[in-house]
Structure 1
C-alpha cells in the first residue's frame, strides 16, 4: 500500500478514533433527554430537531458545571474515551486532563465552556452520522432512477445514473469528519479540563518531594549497605589472616550482627518504595550510636568515643541524620584506611549538635568524579546543609577529619 494512502487510512485502524466518536455521540444524549421535556413538536420538527438538541440543554449544562464533582466526572470520561490506554499516575499526568473536582470559579467556568463545546460538536457529529449515510442511500436510489426526498437535504427530482458516482463520497466524508472532530475535542479537553495553575504547582511540588525522597533513600541505602559490606569484608579478611578460632568466632558474630542491621535497613527502604513509608522512629538515630561503634570496633578499629549532652532529646531529623553521617564517616575509615585508631566526639547542647571523627592519614582525598569514594563524603555535606548546618571533610594536621555542626534551635 502506498505510504500516502496508508497515512490516510491509519486513523481508521486505531481504536481511539471510535472511542472519541462514541464520546461525542454520548453528548447528544443530553439533547434527546431535554427534548422529552419540550413540546411534542420536538421530535416532529425535521431539521429543527438537531437545532433544539444543541440549544435546549445549554442552560442545564451551565448550571451543572457549578457542581465541583462534574469536572471530575468529565475528566474521567475524557481520559477513558479521548486518551484510552494505561491509566496509572504517570499516564493520567501525561494525558493532560485533570480528574479533580473544581476548586475555583475559573475551573467551573472552564468546565461550563467544555460542556457547551462538547454538546455542540457532539450534536453536529450525531447529525452527520445520521444524515450522511442517508445521503449516500439517496444517491444510490437516484442512480437507480427513483426520485428521492431525504430529510434535511435537497430533493433529487431528476434521477440519473451518474448519481451513483457520488454515493461513496458521504461515506468517505463521515469518518474524516469524525477523526477531525475527535482530535479537536481532545485538544479542547486538555485546554479546558487540564490542570489549573494551582494544580500544576501542587503536582510539581509532589513530584519534587518524591524525587527528594528517592534521593534520600538512595543515600540511606548507600550509607547502610556500604557500611555493612565494608565491615563484612574487613572482618572476613582479618579472620582469615589471624588464623585464630577465637578471633574468627568474634568476626563471624560481628558479620552476623552487621548483616542483620543491613537487612533491616533494606526492608525499611523497600517498604518506602512500596509507598508503605516507615515511621520515623523506625530509622536508627544517635541513641543507637553504641551499636555502630561496636561494629567498627569489631572490624578491628581502636575506637575511642566521647559522647556528651542529651542525645536522647535531640530532634528526630537531627538525630537520624547525625547517625547516618557518623556511619558514613566510619565506613570511609574502614574502607580507605583499614583498622586504624579512630577518635569520635559527639557533643550536644541547647544550640547545636557537633560530630567529629578523626583517624590517622593516609585516607585518600576523594577526587571529583571518583565514584563511591566521593559520594559518601558528599552525602555527609548534603545532609548537614539540608538541616541548615555545615560539614567539613579533609586532612588536618596529619589526620583525616570529618566535622559537622547541626543547629538545633530552629528545629525545636
Structure 2
C-alpha cells in the first residue's frame, strides 16, 4: 500500500499532471474558431515543431515539470538547445503531437472520471445522471455507491501512468541526438583531462616546494652554521614564492573557467630548478644543449614539470647525492635524462604518483618515458618527447 501511495507524495507527479494540462491550453482556443480544432491544432503544432527554437521551449518545460531539474541544470536527459538538424526537428514534431494526444486524453479523464463518481452516488440515491457524462448508467441500483470510488482510483492510475509515459517520451524525443551525445562526451573528456593536468601541476609544484623546504630546514638544523642557515632560508623563500605563484595561477583557472592561463614555467627556467636542487645539498652535474627557446609551448612546459618531478624525487628519496641531468633538444625531439645513485644500494619499484605523472605527461605529447634502475645500479628517468 505504501508503495502504491508513494508517487502521490512526490511533487513531480503533480507537475507532470500540470504539464499534460498545459498541452491543450492554447490548442483548445481553436474550439471557438473552427469545429475541427483538434486537426487544426495538430497541423499548427507540426509547423511549430519545425522552428529550431521550439525545442528550447519544450526542453525547458519538460526539464522543469517532468524531471524536476532546473531548466539550466546539467542533466543531459532532456536537451535545452535549438534543433540543429532535420532529425531534431522531426523528433520535436513527434513530441508535440504525442503531448497533444496524451494531454487531451488525460484532461478529458481528469474531468469525466470525478463526474462519473458523482453520478454513481447520485443514481444510487435515486437522482438523475449528468447529461455530460461519458458513461450512461442504466437504472438505479444501490450498489452504484459502492463502486463510486473506482473512477477516482482509475484517475490516480491515469495520472501516474501518463506522467511516466510522457516523461519517457520526453527523454526519447527531446533527448540528445548521437552527435550531441558525442559532443557532450568529448567535453566531459576534456574536463577530466584538464582536472588531471591541474592535479599534476599542483603535485609537482607544491611537492617540489615542500621537499626543498624540508631538506633545507633539516640540513640547516644539522649544520648549525649561521651562513648556511641564511642560504637555506633564502632557498626556502624563493621556492615557496614560486610555488605560491603556481598555486594562485591554478586556483585562478579553477575559479574562472574563461580566465586566460598565465605564463607557466618552461625549460628556459631550468636553471631555477637546478640551483634549488644544489642549494638542497644535491651535487648536480647539468648539461643543457639545443635551442630550448624554440621548443613548442606544450613540450617545453611539460618538460619543465618532468624535470621538476625528477629532481624532487631525488631529494625526497635519495637525499644529497650526485645527480646527472642531461637536456638535449635536436633532430625533432627533446631528450631529458636524470640519473642518480640509489642510497645504500636500495632498489625501488617506481610506482609512485609522481612517476606515473611523468609517464602520463610524456604519453599525452606522443612521447615515451622510462623510469627505474639501470644496469649500473643507478636510478634513472629518461624521457623522449617529439618536437614536431
Shorter-chain TM-score above 0.5:
yes
Q: Which residue of 1 aligns with 2:383?
A: 404
**Contact preservation (8 Å) 2:63, 2:70:** no
CA distance in 2 between partners of 1:366 and 1:151 (Å): 87
Higher deviation after alignment, 8-17 or 352-361? 352-361
Shift of 1:281: 4.7
Q: Which residue of 2 aligns with 1:46?
A: none
**Contact preservation (8 Å) 1:284, 1:320:** yes
CA distance in 1 between partners of 2:268 and 2:131 (Å): 88
Q: TM-score, normalised by structure 1?
A: 0.88
CA distance in 2 between partners of 1:222 and 1:128 (Å): 63
5 Å matches for 1:149-160? 149-156=130-137, 158-160=139-141
CA distance in 2 between partners of 1:87 and 1:231 (Å): 50
- Give yes or no for the alignment of 1:366 onto 2:348: yes
Q: Which residue of 1 aligns with 2:155?
A: 174
5 Å matches for 1:223-242? 223-242=204-223
5 Å matches for 1:10-409? 10-38=6-34, 42=35, 52=36, 54-85=38-69, 89-90=73-74, 92-93=75-76, 96-156=77-137, 158-276=139-257, 279-349=260-330, 351-362=332-343, 364-367=346-349, 370=351, 374-396=352-374, 397-409=376-388
Shift of 1:133: 1.5
Shift of 1:322: 0.3
Partner deviation per Cα, 1:219-273 (whole Å, 9 max, x = no partner): 2222111111111110010011001111111111211221122222222222333
**Contact preservation (8 Å) 2:278, 2:284:** yes
CA distance in 2 between partners of 1:201 and 1:365 (Å): 46
Partner deviation per Cα, 1:294-342 (whole Å, 9 max, x = no partner): 2112211222322222222211000100000000110011011111222
CA distance in 2 between partners of 1:86 and 1:295 (Å): 52
CA distance in 1 between partners of 2:107 and 2:97 (Å): 15
> For the aligned residues, what is the CA RMSD?
2.1
Partner SS state of residue 403, structure 1: strand
Higher deviation after alignment, 79-88 or 238-247? 79-88
**Contact preservation (8 Å) 1:30, 1:53:** no
Higher deviation after alignment, 64-73 or 118-127? 64-73
Contiguous gaps of at least 5 residues in structure 2 = none
CA distance in 1 between partners of 2:316 and 2:226 (Å): 25
Cα distance change on mapping 1:26 and 1:76 into 2, 3 Å: same
Shift of 1:282: 2.2
CA distance in 1 between partners of 2:341 and 2:259 (Å): 38
Partner SS state of residue 57, structure 1: helix
Q: TM-score, normalised by structure 2?
A: 0.93
**Contact preservation (8 Å) 1:268, 1:278:** no
Contiguous gaps of at least 5 residues in structure 1 = 43-51
Cα distance change on mapping 1:340 and 1:114 into 2, 3 Å: same
Partner deviation per Cα, 1:30-84 (whole Å, 9 max, x = no partner): 321232332xxx4xxxxxxxxx554331111111111111112111111100111
CA distance in 2 between partners of 1:185 and 1:154 (Å): 27
**Contact preservation (8 Å) 2:115, 2:133:** no
**Contact preservation (8 Å) 2:348, 2:372:** no
Shift of 1:141: 2.1
CA distance in 1 between partners of 2:72 and 2:40 (Å): 37
